[in-house]
Amino acid sequence: MRATRALIHLGNLKNNIIEIKKCLKPETKMCVAVKADAYGHGAVPCARAALEAGADYLSVATYEEGVVLRNAGIASPILMLSLCSPDEVEEVVSAGITPFVFDEEYIELFSSACKKLGIKKFEVHLAVDTGMGRIGCLPSEAGNIALKIKNCGNLVLGGTATHFALSDCVSEKGKSYTKFQFENFLEAINNIKSVGINPGICHCANSATTLDSPDMHLDMVRPGIIVYGYYADEVSKEYLVSKGKNVELKPVMTLESCVSSIRKFEKGKFAGYGCRWEAKSDTNVGVVPIGYADGWFRRFSECGVKVAVNGKNYPICGRICMDQCMIDLGADCTAKRWDKAVLFGDSSDGALQTADDIAHLTGTISYEITCGISKRVPRVFVQ
């Protein structure tokens, strides 16, 4: 197997779900996000592990992602969070994937597909836009849209949902806007009830509100990044501890490679494209066979991102290439050729930085770091 690989600790994923469930009431359901190939971790193995650990639902972004799970024999309810095109609707219905709907045209697409396929009862969830500005009906429209679903005759309203825009911000602005959205969502639910329709499973809590806002859990929560071992931005471990909550999350992915070559560099010698790095003194430079085609992005080159070898962090020297990068091992180099190099992940694997650390250095979020690890990096699943 290629030395550059991603270890996926399914035991850590199960641990994280157990930790998350400690924040919930026993009757609160959990829908685990496995979209984007489980945030880069591998959808099918992670979905199975999540269900084994007590998840009730899974969520995907596209119908193809849902079909992959169905083809793997996963029978649990699957929510499709994003919209599909008209020519995908029948596939969604055939696979028993639950879509979000919110307007008459989209509702009619699913009703027509059900008629064509001879399906008399098909569950949908109603999406409400409470301030995200993405998909969903307005809270004031929720009752009328729920009636349109009912009047189709072959669609059943199985749930009602919204999504928060600023819940991972703990400032007064963030808290106030999330409260505003939540109140809008409660208004939508009441509007549905006022026309004599059961809103079904009501859900709005993402990773941040799952950990920080128990009053917003309602019938089901939808954790994403916290399942994979990373806190939701400002709703950090330190913040939670300050509020008396101890939630121990463990990174599920460890990205590792090896030192494939070591060469002595004299003072003044350049390394990498553009000759942007120059040896300031005699040193040793190691080559690690991972580059931006693997998701070890070029922008990581000169911002403080490092690589761990034998318990010590070494800086990247020169620009990261498509397939390789170089690290400055120093004049007193103790590393040897073929030693393991750990780029981020669980400290038990020798990692000295996490995806979160890299995200902070590069102005992004941990989600993008794990999702960015490309398909050519093999995933190795371990318990």
Active site residues: 35, 273
**Cα dihedral value 36, 42, 47, 48, nearest 10:** 170
Task: State both tokens at 325.
Answer: 């990068």
Q: What pairs with residue 78 in β-bridges?
A: 58
137 vs 281: CA distance, rounded Å: 63
Q: Are strands 201-205 and 155-161 parallel, antiparallel or unpaired?
A: parallel
Instruction: Please report, in range form, the residues annotated as the binding site.
Output: 134, 322
**Which residue in the block uniquely carries the two structure tokens 């992915």?**
253
314 vs 312: CA distance, rounded Å: 7
176 vs 170: CA distance, rounded Å: 9
206 vs 119: CA distance, rounded Å: 32
On whether the CB atoms of residues 40 and 372 are closer than 8 A, the answer is yes
Q: What pairs with residue 29 in β-bridges?
A: 220
Q: What is the DSSP letter of 318?
A: S
Task: State both tokens at 240.
Answer: 């939670």
Backbone phi and psi for residue 5, each to the nearest 5 degrees, phi listed first = -155, 160
State how far the alpha carbon of 226 is from the alpha carbons of 27, 52, 54, 171, 262, in Å: 20, 17, 15, 20, 38
CA-based max dimension of the chain: 79
State how far the alpha carbon of 338 is from the alpha carbons of 203, 341, 354, 356, in Å: 49, 9, 22, 27
Instruction: Please report, in range form, the residues annotated as the binding site for substrate.
Output: 134, 322
58 vs 34: CA distance, rounded Å: 7
Task: State both tokens at 172.
Answer: 């007064």
264 vs 266: CA distance, rounded Å: 7
